[in-house]
Amino acid sequence: MTDTPKKTSPSSVGSPESPAEAAKRLREEIRRHNDLYFQQDSPEIPDDAYDRLLRELQDLERAHPELALGSPTTEVAPPPGGRALKEVIHDSPMLSLDKALNVQEILDFEERVKRFLGSNESFGFYTMPKFDGLAVELNYDQKVLVLASTRGDGRRGEDITSNVRTIDDIPKNLNQGAPEGRLFVRGEVYMEKEEFSRLNEEREAEGLSIFANPRNAAAGSLRQLDPSVTQQRNLKFFAYGLSDAKMAESESYGRLMEKLGHWGFPVETSKSSKVNQNLAEALAVFRDLEAGRDNLPFEVDGLVITLDDLSLWDRLGATSRAPRYAVAAKFKPRAAKTQVLNIEIQVGRTGALTPVAFMEPVLVSGVRVAQATLHNEDELKRKDVRVGDYVILQRAGDVIPEIVEVDLEKRPVGLSPFVFPKICPICATPAVRKEGEAVSRCPNRSCPAQIEARLIHFAHKNALDIDGLGQKVAAQLLANNLVKLPSDLFKLSAQDLKALPRFGEKSALKLIEGIDQARSKALWRFINALSIRHVGERVSQILAEHFDSLEALSKATNDQLQAINDIGPEVAKSLLDFFQSPLNHHFLADLMDPALVKPSHTQPLTEGLLSDKRFVLTGTLNTMTRAEAKARITAKGGRVLSTVSKETDYLVAGQAAGSKLTTAQKLNLPILDEEAFIKLLN
Ligand code: IVH
């Protein structure tokens, strides 16, 4: 870390700066920004301002070559994109957890499990706090730490081995009794609250930007190119599992956690981490932990409730997103109070007119919040938020800030209700509000605001995740006609970008690199990037599990779409409309052009044994429910359809099979009884 002052003034009154002084000031300034950008992941100035500093120094050095020794202008430039941590592919994907946002959703979780297993008994649950840090995987070979990686997007993370070696909590060698072969331990790297305050105080005193919460501080400290920075940060670790629970050779999660402790890993041992006989007991743990969360030395944002019996983990399996045998029960968000300064109407990528409140910035559970969506006209009316009101703010699911209500007692006199516009504030087209819908829309798909919003969404973290393409850059690309459709991004060159006013060499290369990486991102990201109504992240993931390319999806029929669990008539219609609309013709042609993009079709949990085989189920199976049978087929790459046809590969016939069996017999299809079906699965 540098210890140069935050701001060195260019010149003091009366004594003009000499070239040598100016060069020294610029060098210090540039080095400080290099450090902020590359080492601390928290730049203070935009790239173009950085480029101006660099150019100023270069000009000065050209005029006074004697000043050019040992300058950042002659040092090797750091890699574009800023990060040089190596990529690590996880052998088995690091999934996330389904969330339960209230007690009902926790009860729903147990109901889902029961339905899936076709069982009415009650289960034992292991509970453990949900640590608010960063998931990591530690690989051991012969009991020696050989590789450590971040979760990344679950499939690909970053190599953080040298940084992890500086964390005292993490064993470099395992105790006796630990497995001799390869072992993949998963857990959370976190920062204690006290260390977080200490670090921020120190940074503030040094004039550095402060971290918003312990989680960000832990992440920033771990993803360092220089391990000595990580070492100074005093990070901690809790283990919570293995990449494959079978490695522990135990029957329960509780025993697995004990073993991790014996092998040398720190495991959480407060009264919240324990085996519970049933869900009622787990709920009591949840309430206690929520009431006492502030007494813990580290941040927790919920309680992870997991079936204790590992043989049930096997049966329940996982979707491509999360295991079915665990749930993250989240705490109620923390609230804060602030004043509304303005209400603006924003036009979204589907034309939705959304009122957004801009507020006096305030910290809500550690994060600075200055704006919140009011969703739509009805919500705005219901909450009756007015400019000047004091409001209670929460962060729902600990991410999205939300205005819960107006503090009417503090309402200043004379505030008038907000009047919702009848026209699009950007293109003035009359807004349309369909019968039964809460949202008013600008119907003009060529409205500049919609085009810009679609471009921003295309690059969004949950879509193609292109770094450096935010609102400002999007607006600039459109204004200069470099991009008309989001897919035009794939035709840009660094040269094109460098010609733009605010772009420098570094920012141009960085964006081009981000775009190049996007070309081969997972198919679901491309689907989400299309901005189809009703098709968000989750639906995109489901669709990507059923279609292996955009082309295949674009040809899907209404029946094929609706045969998919979770895809209803509304979503299907929206997809069909999108793919049939001539307006999307060029856009789609680009995205199906293998010379421009090559989406990767990741079906992580698929072993592919039944790859693309079509199954139809009929009758009752004795050892598993329909849902379980279906999940086990899809987990191996097969598909389950509802009607028997010539195309069916197998009919699975349980007891009391009906007309489907007769049809299959007529068509001479392979018919599996339960025993044969299980054999095939295994
Ligand atoms: S997973 C499946 N346990 O939550 C049963 N995850 O996993 C194993 N996380 O980003 C339990 N605390 O880093 C588990 N006690 C905990 C956790 C935990 C935090 C994070 C994890 C990941 C996300 C989903």
pLDDT of residue 278: 97
Span from the CA of 197 to the centroid of ligand 1 (angstroms)? 24
CA 166 to ligand 1 center in whole angstroms: 23
Using 50, 70 and 90 to split pLDDT, how confident is the model at 371?
very high
Annotated domain spans of the chain:
19-74, 87-330, 335-410, 448-591, 614-681
Ligand 1 neighbourhood includes 323 CB (under 6 angstroms): yes
Q: Whose CA is closest to atom 14 on ligand 1? A: 240
Nearest atom of ligand 1 to the alpha carbon of 326: 2
- Residue 289 pLDDT: 97
Q: Which residue is closest in CA terms to ligand 1's atom 21?
A: 135
Question: Ligand 1 centroid vs 345 CA: distance in angstroms?
Answer: 38
* Closest atom of ligand 1 to CA, residue 306: 5
Angle of the 214-222 helix axis to the 193-205 helix axis, nearest 10: 70
Report residue 77's pLDDT band, with 50, 70 and 90 as the boundaries.
Answer: very low
Q: Is residue 185 in contact with ligand 1, taking CB distance under 6 Å? A: no
CB 135 near ligand 1, within 6 Å: yes
**Whether the CB of 97 sits within 6 Å of ligand 1:** yes
Mean pLDDT score across all residues of the chain: 88
Does ligand 1 have an atom closer than 6 angstroms to the CB of 266? no
Question: Ligand 1 center to residue 467 CA distance, Å?
Answer: 26
* Torsion, Cα of 550, 553, 555, 559 (10° steps): 180
Specify the higher pLDDT residue, 212 or 190. Answer: 190
- Smallest CA separation from ligand 1 atom 10, residue: 135
Task: Give the per-residue pLDDT at 542.
Answer: 84
Compute, in angstroms, the gap from residue 249 CA to the centroid of ligand 1.
21
Atom of ligand 1 nearest to the CA of 240: 3
Report residue 672: phi and psi, to 5°. -110, 130
The least confident of 86-100, 172-186, 396-410, 560-574 is 396-410
Residue of the CA atom closest to atom 13 of ligand 1: 135
Question: What is Dmax (Cα atoms) for the chain?
Answer: 101
Write out pLDDT tens, residues 429-462. Answer: 999 998 888 889 999 989 999 999 999 999 998 8
Judged against a pLDDT cut of 80, whether residue 45 lies above it is answered with no
Q: Which among 572, 571, 563, 567 has a CA at the least distance from the CA of 643?
A: 563
pLDDT for res 36 = 65
Check pocket membership of 100 for ligand 1, CB cut-off 6 A.
Answer: no
Question: pLDDT over 90 for what percent of the chain?
Answer: 61
What Cα–Cα distance (Å) separates residue 416 from each residue in 311, 338, 389?
62, 19, 10
Ligand 1 lined by 664 (C-beta under 6 Å): no
- Whose CA is closest to atom 16 on ligand 1? 130
**What is the number of the ligand 1 atom nearest to the C-alpha of 97?**
24
Q: Ligand 1 within 6 A of 310 CB?
A: no
DSSP 3-state assignment of 662? helix
Predicted confidence at residue 4, as pLDDT, reads 33
Q: Is 326 in the pocket of ligand 1 (CB under 6 A)?
A: yes
Does position 11 have pLDDT exceeding 50, yes or no?
Answer: no
Ligand 1 centroid vs 240 CA: distance in angstroms? 7
Distance 41 CA to ligand 1 centre (A): 25
How much is the average pLDDT of 12-35?
75
- Alpha carbon of 254 to ligand 1 centroid (Å): 15
DSSP string, 557-607: -HHHHHTSTT--HHHHHHHHHHHH-GGGHHHHHHHT-TTT---B---TT--
CA 350, distance to chain mean position in Å, is: 22
Q: Which CATH class is domain 448-591?
A: mainly alpha
Closest residue to atom 17 of ligand 1, CA basis: 130
CA dist., res. 585 & res. 485, Å (int): 11
- The answer regarding whether domain 335-410 maps to CATH 3.30.1490.20 reads no
617 Cβ closer than 6 Å to some ligand 1 atom: no
**Contacts with 330 (C-beta within 8 Å, 6 or more apart), sequence order:** 99, 100, 101, 130, 301, 302, 397, 398
Ligand 1 contact, 240 CB (< 6 A): yes
Q: 363 alpha carbon to ligand 1 midpoint, in Å?
A: 25
Please write the tens of the pLDDT for every residue from 518-565: 999 999 999 999 999 999 887 898 898 888 899 999 999 999 998 887
Q: Of the residues 242, 299, 304, which should be mutated to test ligand 1's pocket, given the most ligand atoms within 8 Å of the CB? A: 304
The reported pTM is: 0.60
Q: Whose CA is nearest to atom 1 of ligand 1?
A: 240
**Which listed residue (130, 510, 521, 630) is catalytic?**
130
Considering the domain 614-681, what is its CATH architecture?
Answer: 3-Layer(aba) Sandwich (3.40)
For 87-330, the fitting CATH number among 3.30.1370.100, 1.20.1260.60, 3.40.190.10, 3.30.470.30 is 3.30.470.30
* Confidence label for 605 from pLDDT (cuts 50, 70 and 90): very low
Protein residue with its CA nearest to atom 3 in ligand 1: 240
CA of 164 to the centre of ligand 1 (A): 19
CB 128 less than 6 A from any atom of ligand 1: yes
Q: Residue 43 corresponds to which amino acid?
A: P
Judge if the beta carbon of residue 318 lies within 6 A of ligand 1. Answer: no
660 is catalytic: no
Mean pLDDT is highest, among 182-191, 246-255, 430-439, for 182-191
Poorest-pLDDT segment among 45-54, 234-243, 577-586: 45-54
Predicted confidence (pLDDT) per residue in 111-121, tens digit = 999 999 999 99
**Ligand 1 site, residue 303, Cβ cutoff 6 A:** no
Which residue from 338, 347, 396 is spatially nearest to 371, judged by alpha carbons?
338
pLDDT band of residue 674 (cuts 50, 70, 90) is very high
- Cβ partners under 8 Å of residue 350, min gap 6: 441, 450, 531, 533
CB 95 within 8 A of CB 279: no
Exposure class string for 465-475: b at 16+ Cβ within 10 A, else e? bbbbbeeebbe
User: Does CATH number 1.10.3210.10 belong to domain 19-74?
Assistant: no
| Ligand 1 contacts CB of residue 244 (under 6 A) | no
